[in-house]
Amino acid sequence: MSRVALVTGAARGIGAAVVHGLAAEGWRVLALDLCADLPGVPYSLGRKEELGALVKRWPGQVLDVAADVRDQESLAEAVALAEREFGGLDAAVAAAAIMAGGEPLWETTDAEWDALFDTGVRGVFNLARAAVPALLRRPEPRSGRFVALASAAAHKGLWHLAGYNAAKHAVVGLIKGLATDLRGTGVTATAVSPGSTRTAMLDATATLYDLADVEEFSRHQLAERLLEPEEVAAAVCWLCGEQSSAITGTVVHADGGFTA
């Protein structure tokens, strides 16, 4: 019987790559994204058409849901849909996040701060509250997985991105606490911290820094190139699998050596 995952932030970038990666391995996936723009976020977010393209690529394996990770009830409904349509839930991937900043911390606006924490931290918290009980409803021996996308910014200060730093540090702390709460259940909790990855979010970061070319970010990575979303997704997909049972309460650094 194929395993079942719920992935947030699934319309594009690393989230979409995770959906493709899991589906290619035979998983059934509920792909969730807001499919709308947000106040305090200076660039366009994923679209319904992008989310729908996942369903077209993987008919019968992927279902799409337009929902807001800031809304607990919406995520509870999404988990219920996964259980109803696919028979249960084996993994939850919190990939929804946004980028905002471009100024020193003391000039950060309430709208930017709220956007960073409401989506990037509360969204992970809401997914855990909705998904973990479903992971625990699987019969023993369980192999449920909760994976959150953190960032290299969770481990190193970035200029004019202190709010983003703070949000991603919070994600790592949340994962460590969740893993401890899950002790002995067979369900694990891990984070993946990408480096500079070729996504719309990185394009937005380049705009904040007034960079002419997003490739300038590659200077900070030992790989000496930008990462592709599929490379980061490969780490996430492995962590979702049963073979990753020894990994919990920690971070996998899929960052091209950014934090070496």
Catalytic-residue membership of 43? no
Q: Do residues 147 and 190 lie in contact, with contact meaning Cβ atoms separated by under 8 Å?
A: yes
Q: Provide the edge-to-edge strand list for the sheet that holds 145-149.
A: 62-66, 28-33, 4-8, 91-94, 145-149, 188-194, 251-254
Does residue 120 contact residue 175 with C-beta atoms inside 8 Å? no
Catalytic residue among 27, 164, 217, 258: 164
Strands 91-94 and 62-66: unpaired
Catalytic residues: 164
